[in-house]
Amino acid sequence: MREIILLIHILLAIVWAGGIMFIGWGVYPASMKLSLSIQRQFLITLMKWSHHFLTLAGFFVVLTGIILGTVLGPIHSWNMLWNTDYGNTWLTALGIGIFTLLWGIFIGYREMMHIFTDDFLWKEAENGNKRPLIRELVRLAALESVEVISFVVLIYLMISF
Closest CA relative to residue 113, chosen from 89, 134, 138, 140: 140
User: What residue numbers bound the domain in which 49 lies?
Assistant: 2-160
pLDDT, position 160: 87
Q: Which mean pLDDT values do the consecutive 10-residue runs of the chain (161 residues) have?
A: 97 97 94 95 96 98 98 96 96 98 97 97 97 96 95 94 74
pLDDT, position 161: 74
Contacts of 119 (CB under 8 A, 6+ apart): none
* Alpha carbons 127 and 32: distance in angstroms, whole number: 17
Residues 65 and 16: beta-carbon distance below 8 Å: no
Closest CA relative to residue 118, chosen from 135, 105, 101, 106: 135
When divided into structural domains, the chain yields a total of: 1
pLDDT, position 152: 96
* Alpha carbons 123 and 120: distance in angstroms, whole number: 5
Neighbours of 87 (CB within 10 A): 19
